[in-house]
Amino acid sequence: MVYRPQAVTIDDRAVEHLVEFCRANNHTRLFMVADANTFAAQGQAVKEALLAAGFDLKYIIFSNEEVVADAVHVFDVLIAAGGDMRTYIAVGAGTLTDITRFASHRTHSQFISIPTAPSVDGFASIGAPLIVHGVKITVYCQAPLAIFADINTLAHAPQTMIAAGFGDMLGKLTSIADWRLGSLLWNEPYDETIAQRTLDAVQICIDNVDAIGRGAPEGISRLLDALLESGYCMLDFGESRPASGAEHHTSHYWEMKLLREGRPAILHGAKVGVATVMVAELYDRVRALTREQVSELLEATTWPARDEEIARIRAAYGDLADDVIAEHRAFLELAPEKVEAIKRAILDHWDEIQTIAAHVPPAAVVADLLRRAGGPTTAAELGFDDAERDLGFDNGHYLRNRFTARKLVHVLGID
């Protein structure tokens, strides 16, 4: 059974709540994970309060400029924590939370989240996106025991991180559409109630976009509410489908490329926001197609040949290709009759596909919302050239066995 956090607060008493919760629930042996920035923002106050209250506290504060959720940082946490049982405390945003989530779960410990920026939707979820042998995968672990967020810390987070959280939420506009496509055409597991809950959370962000863009506490509180709700949706469904579609797959590819090349990281939500504009453009194109045009496209195109697809994967992923090919095997090894069944399903369900596409705002609207929140809207603003932009968009879909808008246009031959 998957459990939700026992306590969640968003106010100006996060540290007090943490002390009270640990005392009331007999969490006396603690281990804090932070980096230099999050320690300055909130970690020092946490450390001082816990020590003053008499708790047995150990901690690690990463001093390197860029912390990545990979084996090296996980190992550093495990070494610093030692062999005794402790309740972990993640003081930070997405990366530090994911490292702590994984390390605590693998040591049969619990963890508490102290968010320092409203930048991701993963605080309340069970998934820990990790880089393993250079490939971005999601490892399912556990939700935090509690979440205590300080609104003043969140509101004073860098605007780039606030905009990244908004971008991560806007990504649900296309992830839900992709999820519905996958259910319709690829028999993926689906839950309409959870899909609607996710979209309702996105609408909260859209309704408060200007306050979020100003960093106003009321807007930031609503943004974190929405991010937590998205995490609850993943928690309740048991995986990331409600929150991750083609926009996330594109972001994952870009992230892996940056890591391979030793380039500075780009905030997850910033990449997702830009990729959401690009996926929304696909849905713009889908909406413009008539059934007759789709019939002609399906008649004229062939399912991508296995050898050609593998060659594309190897060209795009290099040494990581074997793992990606293994993940994509269901698409690569489709029998001819299954291919024809998918083509028939696309044509037979074109009205439903159009309805799905109609629920995705036009790409220009998505870009305007991102701009109002203070986020980038193009790959060039992220620092990618046109070739890098296209590499991510054309090859990110190979990372997951899911039928997204990117897969649909690939089958139609209009990508």
The full set of domains in the chain, from first to last, is 7-157 (3.40.50.1970), 160-412 (1.20.1090.10)
Q: How many CA atoms lie within 13 A of 258 on its CB side?
A: 23
Q: Which residue has the tokens 């193009």?
A: 378
Helix axes 246-260 and 405-412, enclosed angle (nearest 10): 90
Written as six digits, the tokens of 177 are 């559409």
State CA 66 to chain mean position distance. 19
For residues 167 and 276, the answer to whether their CB atoms sit within 8 Å is yes
d(CA 93, CA 240): 18
d(CA 288, CA 294): 10
Phi-psi region of 339 (alpha: psi -120 to 50; beta: other; left: phi over 0): alpha
For residues 366 and 173, the answer to whether their CB atoms sit within 8 Å is yes
pLDDT tens string 315-369 = 999 999 999 999 899 999 999 999 999 999 999 999 999 999 999 999 999 999 9
pLDDT tens string 3-54 = 789 999 999 999 999 999 999 999 999 999 999 999 999 999 999 999 999 9
Span 388-399, average pLDDT: 95
Question: Which among 156, 93, 153, 113 is positioned nearest to 18, based on CA atoms?
Answer: 113
In angstroms and rounded to an integer, the radius of gyration of the C-alpha atoms of the chain is 22
Helix (H, G, I), strand (E, B) or coil at 54: coil
DSSP annotation of 70 reads: B
Please check the confidence at residue 171 and state whether its pLDDT lies above 90: yes
pLDDT averaged over every residue in the chain: 94
Long-range contacts of 284-292 (CB under 8 A, 24+ apart): 284/362, 284/363, 285/409, 285/414, 286/353, 286/354, 286/357, 286/405, 286/408, 286/409, 287/354, 287/357, 287/358, 289/412, 291/347, 291/350, 291/351
pLDDT of res. 176: 98
Question: Which among 36, 40, 85, 83 is positioned nearest to 60, based on CA atoms?
Answer: 36
The helix or strand, by DSSP H or E, that contains position 305, with its residue range, turns out to be none
pLDDT of res. 138: 85
Question: Which among 221, 275, 235 is positioned nearest to 251, based on CA atoms?
Answer: 275
DSSP annotation of 107 reads: T
> Nearest 5 degrees, angle CA 11-CA 12-CA 17?
80
Span 246-262, average pLDDT: 94
d(CA 305, CA 331): 10
Phi-psi region of 131 (alpha: psi -120 to 50; beta: other; left: phi over 0): beta
Span 69-73, average pLDDT: 92
